[in-house]
C-alpha cells in the first residue's frame, strides 16, 4: 500500500460547554492509506463522530495536525476546506441525506454543480453511477419512492460523482435491516476491490468492522488497539 492519504497526528478536539471543557479527542493519531478499507470502531461516546469529522475535513483540531496527501490542512479556512471536501472526499451517511424533492439522478448530480461540471457531464456521470449501484431503472424516482437500501445506494452513487480519493461511510447500515445492510456493505467492498477506492467506515458494529482490511479501535477519544 502507498500512503498515507490522510494522517491525524496527536489530534485533540476540545469543546467548551459553559465553564466546562470536554475533550472529544485526546491525542488521536491515525493513518489512512491509499487503496485500503479501514474500519474505525468504537462504542457510543468514544469519539467516533468527532474522528469522522477530522478524517472528512469537516472540522479542524484544537491541537495536533490533520494532513491530506502530505499537506497540513489543520489551519485552513472553511472555504478552502469545503473545496477540498468537494474534490477529495465522498460521504455516505446513516441518514442518507437525500433531498426528497429531487429524483435519484438529480440527487447524484448535485455535488457536481458546486465543482462547475457541465450539465451534460453531470447527467452522464449520474446515470453511469446509478447503473453501477443497480438502480438504472429507478433513477427518475424520488427518495420517498425508494426503499431504505435503494436510498443508501443512491447516497453511495452520490459520494462517487467527483471521483473522490476517499469514501467516508458513517454507520452506513445503521438505518437498514440486516439483509439490506449486508447488500450495502457488499457494494462498499465492490468499490474497494473493483474501483480501487479508499474506504473509511465508522461503525460500532463488530460484524461490519470484520469485513474491513484493517480495524482501529477507538475509546475515550484515542486509539486503544489495532486489528489486522
Domain containing 195 — which CATH number? 3.40.50.300
Please state the pTM of the whole predicted model. Answer: 0.88
Strand arrangement, sheet containing 2-17: 20-34, 2-17, 63-68, 71-72
Crossing angle of helices 178-194 and 148-159, rounded to 10°: 20
Residue 131, domain member (yes or no): yes
Residue 17, domain member (yes or no): no
Q: Which residues pair with 65 in a beta bridge?
A: 9
Residue 66, domain member (yes or no): no
Give residue for cell 496527536: 10
Spatial distance between the Cα atoms of 67 and 9, rounded to a whole number of angstroms = 8
Nearest in space to 122 (alpha carbons), one of 108, 136, 101: 108
Contacts of 118 (CB under 8 A, 6+ apart): none
Q: Give the chain's largest Cα–Cα span.
A: 55
In degrees, to the nearest 5, what angle opens at C-alpha 92 toward C-alphas 90 and 93? 140
Residue 68, domain member (yes or no): no
> What does the pLDDT read at residue 195?
84
Residue 16, domain member (yes or no): no
Residue 14, domain member (yes or no): no
Residue range of the domain that includes 116? 36-60+75-227
- Structural domain count, the chain: 1
Residue 18, domain member (yes or no): no
> What does the pLDDT read at residue 138?
96
Residue 26, domain member (yes or no): no
Low-confidence ranges of the chain (pLDDT < 50): none
- Residue 187: its H or E element: helix 178-194
Amino acid at each position: 500500500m502507498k500512503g498515507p492519504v490522510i494522517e491525524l497526528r496527536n489530534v485533540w478536539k476540545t469543546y467548551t460547554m459553559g465553564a466546562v471543557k470536554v475533550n472529544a479527542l485526546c491525542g488521536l493519531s491515525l493513518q489512512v492509506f491509499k487503496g485500503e478499507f479501514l474500519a474505525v470502531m468504537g462504542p457510543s461516546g468514544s469519539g467516533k463522530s468527532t474522528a469522522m469529522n477530522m478524517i472528512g475535513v469537516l472540522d479542524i483540531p484544537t491541537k495536533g495536525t490533520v494532513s491530506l496527501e502530505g499537506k497540513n490542512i489543520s489551519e485552513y479556512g472553511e472555504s478552502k476546506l469545503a473545496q477540498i471536501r468537494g474534490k477529495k472526499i465522498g460521504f455516505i451517511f446513516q441518514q442518507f441525506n437525500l433531498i426528497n424533492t429531487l429524483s435519484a439522478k438529480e440527487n447524484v448530480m448535485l455535488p457536481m454543480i458546486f465543482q462547475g461540471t457541465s450539465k451534460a457531464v453531470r447527467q452522464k456521470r449520474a446515470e453511469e453511477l446509478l447503473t453501477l449501484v443497480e438502480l438504472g431503472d429507478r433513477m427518475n424516482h424520488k427518495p420517498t419512492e425508494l426503499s431504505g437500501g435503494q436510498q443508501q445506494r443512491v447516497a453511495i452513487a452520490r459520494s462517487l460523482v467527483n471521483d473522490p480519493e476517499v469514501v467516508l461511510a458513517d454507520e452506513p447500515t445503521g438505518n437498514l435491516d440486516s439483509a439490506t445492510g449486508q447488500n450495502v456493505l457488499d457494494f462498499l467492498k465492490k468499490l474497494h476491490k473493483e474501483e480501487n477506492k479508499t474506504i473509511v467506515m465508522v461503525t460500532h458494529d463488530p460484524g461490519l468492522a470484520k469485513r474491513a482490511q484493517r480495524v482501529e479501535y477507538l475509546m475515550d477519544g484515542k486509539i486503544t488497539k489495532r486489528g489486522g
